[in-house]
Homo-oligomer: A and B are copies of this chain.
Amino acid sequence: MTVVADLVAALGSGAVRVVDLTNKLSASTPTLRLPEPFANLIDFSLEQVSAYDAPGPFWKHHNIRTGEHIGTHLDAPVHWVTGREGHDVSQIPPARLVGPAAVMDFSAEASADPDFLLEIDHVKGWIAEHGELAEGTWLLFRTGWDRFADDQERFLNADETGSHTPGISAACAEWLATSTPISGFGVETVGIDAGNAGGFDPPFPAHFHLLGNDKYGLTSLQNLASLPPTGAVLIVAPLPIVGGTGSPTRVLALVDGQ
């Protein structure tokens, strides 16, 4: 049998499962709140156009209004000024959207310290235990933050000193972007940078380094706890928006076993 025929058989028997890593989209999906003077995107909303009634007797359908960077979504290189000459979301090579997942679990550390940052040594420690990051890997940073994904306030965890959510150090972002063959970096929080990363050097270093080096960002992931550290295939499916800087994105994983 071929690899794809084996996959078909394994999906049919349940030997391979499809795991959904996506937050549901509604008007209450938690979203980023940029401070003044920055302009925020609109939240997600549906507008009913017909519901088995006069404007459409047999069908129901809606219009959608949303920002590109709402809910579980992908950041394309062109989202950031450092990637402005790079790909928009419609130009991403499809091969980069399907690849191995490397799940790094720092949920205990992030639970103890909401400002926890992933450092180069954390990643090197994971590699020492689980092996090198293969070409096209999606590095998924598990922090347990998905438990707040239905609660805007706890998800952003803001006080008078700003938002306190885990992220990645500037040094680690630069190293991942320039010294590893990852395809992208995925998080459970509202954005790929830490909540207080506007004060880092450079500001928002995950965006700065990753998008500036043709890596992608992926946010508001859920259910990373159901993935093994290695051995899952991630499927990242943004809408191919011409000129788009990102897109709400369905994210699925293929996992061995019941």
User: A113 to chain B: which residues have CB within 8 Å?
Assistant: none
A24 to B61, CA, bound (A): 21
Q: Total interface residues on A, using CB and 8 Å?
A: 89
Copies of this chain: 2
A252 near B231: Cβ-Cβ < 8 Å: no
User: A112 to chain B: which residues have CB within 8 Å?
Assistant: none
Q: Which of B58, B203, B254 contacts A58 (CB 8 A)?
A: B203
B79 near A68: Cβ-Cβ < 8 Å: no
Q: A81-121, CB under 8 A of B: which get 1 and which 0?
A: 10010000010001101111000000000000000000000
A233: interface (CB < 8 Å): yes
A180: interface (CB < 8 Å): no
User: A16 to chain B: which residues have CB within 8 Å?
Assistant: 3-4
A244: interface (CB < 8 Å): yes
30 A-B pairs whose Cβ atoms sit less than 8 Å apart in the complex: A3-B7, A3-B15, A4-B16, A4-B254, A5-B231, A6-B6, A8-B134, A8-B233, A12-B136, A24-B241, A25-B90, A39-B50, A39-B55, A49-B67, A58-B81, A58-B203, A58-B204, A60-B81, A63-B66, A63-B67, A64-B64, A64-B67, A64-B241, A97-B252, A98-B254, A235-B237, A235-B252, A237-B249, A237-B250, A250-B250
Q: Which of A45-68 contact B (CB under 8 A)?
A: 46, 49-50, 52, 54-68
Closest-by-CB residue of B relative to A10 is: B3
A98 near B208: Cβ-Cβ < 8 Å: no
Q: A164-205, CB under 8 A of B: which get 1 and which 0?
A: 000000000000000000000000000000000000000110
* Additional A-B contacts beyond A58-B204, A237-B252 (16; CB < 8 A): A3-B7, A3-B256, A4-B16, A12-B136, A18-B94, A18-B95, A18-B97, A25-B241, A38-B55, A39-B50, A46-B241, A60-B84, A64-B65, A64-B66, A239-B248, A250-B250
